[in-house]
Amino acid sequence: MRRIRLGMVGGGEGSFIGAVHRISARMDNQFELLAGALSSDERRAGSSAAALGIMADRSYASFEDMARTEAARDDGIEAVAIVTPNHLHAAPAIAFLNAGIHVICDKPLAATMAQAKAMKAASDESKAQFFLTHNYTGYPLIRQAREMVASGALGSLRVAQVEYAQDWLAEPVEATGNKQASWRTDPARAGAGAIGDIGTHAFNLLGFVSGDRVASLAADIQSFVDGRQVDDNAQIMLRFQSGARGSIWASQVAVGAENSLRLRLYGDRASLDWSHDNPNEMIFARLGEPRQILTRGGAGLGDGADRWTRVPPGHPEGYLEGFANLYQDIASVLMGKAGYSELPSIEAGMDGMWFITACQDSARRDAAWVLRDCDAS
């Protein structure tokens, strides 16, 4: 079996998301990690590469050298995963796209809209493909929910709500040397706080499942922790093109919440309720009938849920399996096989950047409504 030759930028020792990408890429044996510029620190890059079994001559001190050298090799990488802090997404992505190497980029797309637009231009000009890892779109029951909404099972959508709450930034941990908190609370490196880190996931999830598009939003965002330079809590009202209404609550200071993501959709005939705390179940309720509990891999689901299920019902799957579904689908696309048609792309990234900038604009004007040009990203 031929595996796709993969490289990685960022993701060295101590990186949470780098390890997640590597596990996910390996799960279905579709990728082989062969090269990396794993850290800006040359010593750490080398030791990280050695620990991962990457040959010394394919451990690079810079992504520029990596893109140039790998593109020239007969056995060079075919795709690269970019798992750096947000402000370091654009330059590597553009370099690899220009070299004809497919890009798998962590979200959000970039730290600034200017960086995002440069990435979009490079993607439009390149023959290589661009994928954004909004991993929650890989969960079987989330894909089932999308199918149900599209089929009309809920009727006309009325209300769509997502909450994404964490508590890991409830205190100023960025001041303690926590590396993950340090860059995520630095506006120059992150671009935004909770709205960028987890709010973009919520925004993407709403659009993915509902099939609807946000026409305008009003955002009330805060920095509750003294001295913090980015937002750590946001409450956002949404108006959809269809006329439906919605809201997003994104918080990283919600004490007691670990990674509490919840999606609720209400139509005029039925509703869906899915929680990341138990991603293997989803509640479906028809008006005037008893509620049903749909289970991942269980009876009564469509092909969309069964196709991305690895083990039988009652054997839990979760975060890593959902993430791996994206990598499995990306591999199918790159190998020219039939894959999932709704993978997050550069367009999803631009949507997320609009969301971030619109929230910031709204908050500066006391939660004023910000309209979206529906012909633009």
Question: Following DSSP, what letter does each residue of 19-70 receive, concatenated?
Answer: HHHHHHHHHTT-EEEEEEE--SSHHHHHHHHHHTT--GGGB-S-HHHHHHHH
Within a domain: 323: no
Residue at 151: amino acid letter: S
Residue at 159: amino acid letter: V
- Could you say which of 132, 156, 184 is where a domain stops? 132
> Burial code of 142-168, b = ≥16 C-beta within 10 A, e = fewer?
bbbbbebbeeebbeebbebbbbbbbbb
Q: How far is CA 248 from the centre of its chain?
A: 16
Same domain, 46 and 79: yes
> Burial code of 41-68, b = ≥16 C-beta within 10 A, e = fewer?
eeeebbbbbeebebeeebbbeebeebbe
Q: Which long-range contacts (CB under 8 A, 24 or more apart) does 28-32 make?
A: 28/324, 28/327, 28/328, 28/331, 29/1, 29/3, 30/3, 30/4, 30/327, 30/328, 30/331, 31/3, 31/4, 31/5, 31/6, 31/79, 31/327, 31/331, 32/3, 32/4, 32/5, 32/6
Residue at 222: amino acid letter: Q
CA-to-CA distance for 56 and 54, rounded, in angstroms? 6
Question: Looking up tokens 């919440």, which residue turns up?
Answer: 257
Same domain, 264 and 353: yes
Within a domain: 220: yes
- Number of structural domains (the chain) is 2
Within a domain: 251: yes
Is there a contact between 219 and 359 (Cβ–Cβ < 8 Å)?
yes
pLDDT for position 116? 98
pLDDT for position 20? 97
CA-to-CA distance for 10 and 322, rounded, in angstroms? 22
- Domain range enclosing 196: 140-275+280-312+346-364
Same domain, 301 and 174: yes
Two structure tokens written together for 257: 């919440």
Helix H or strand E encompassing 352: helix 346-364
203: domain CATH number is: 3.30.360.10
Same domain, 159 and 295: yes
Low-confidence ranges of the chain (pLDDT < 50): 375-377
Within a domain: 332: no
Question: Looking up tokens 């969301």, which residue turns up?
Answer: 355
pLDDT for position 301? 84
Same domain, 114 and 147: no
115: domain CATH number is: 3.40.50.720
Within a domain: 341: no
Same domain, 66 and 201: no
pLDDT for position 304? 59
Same domain, 200 and 268: yes
pLDDT for position 104? 98
Residue at 286: amino acid letter: R
Same domain, 69 and 145: no
pLDDT for position 121? 98
Read off the pTM: 0.95
Hey, CA dihedral for 283, 275, 206, 305, is it positive or negative? negative
Please count the other Cβ atoms lying within 10 Å of the Cβ belonging to residue 98. Answer: 15
Same domain, 108 and 193: no
Q: How far is CA 299 from the centre of its chain?
A: 29
pLDDT for position 303? 66
pLDDT for position 184? 96
Within a domain: 307: yes
- Could you say which of 113, 132, 151 is where a domain stops? 132
- Could you say which of 101, 132, 163 is where a domain stops? 132
Is there a contact between 89 and 10 (Cβ–Cβ < 8 Å)?
no
User: Per residue in 206-229, pLDDT tens?
Assistant: 999 999 999 999 999 999 999 999
Same domain, 235 and 94: no
pLDDT for position 374? 53
CA-to-CA distance for 131 and 326, rounded, in angstroms? 9
Same domain, 124 and 145: no
Within a domain: 270: yes
Two structure tokens written together for 292: 């049903």
Contacts of 291 (CB under 8 A, 6+ apart): 283, 284, 285
Within a domain: 101: yes
Same domain, 179 and 146: yes
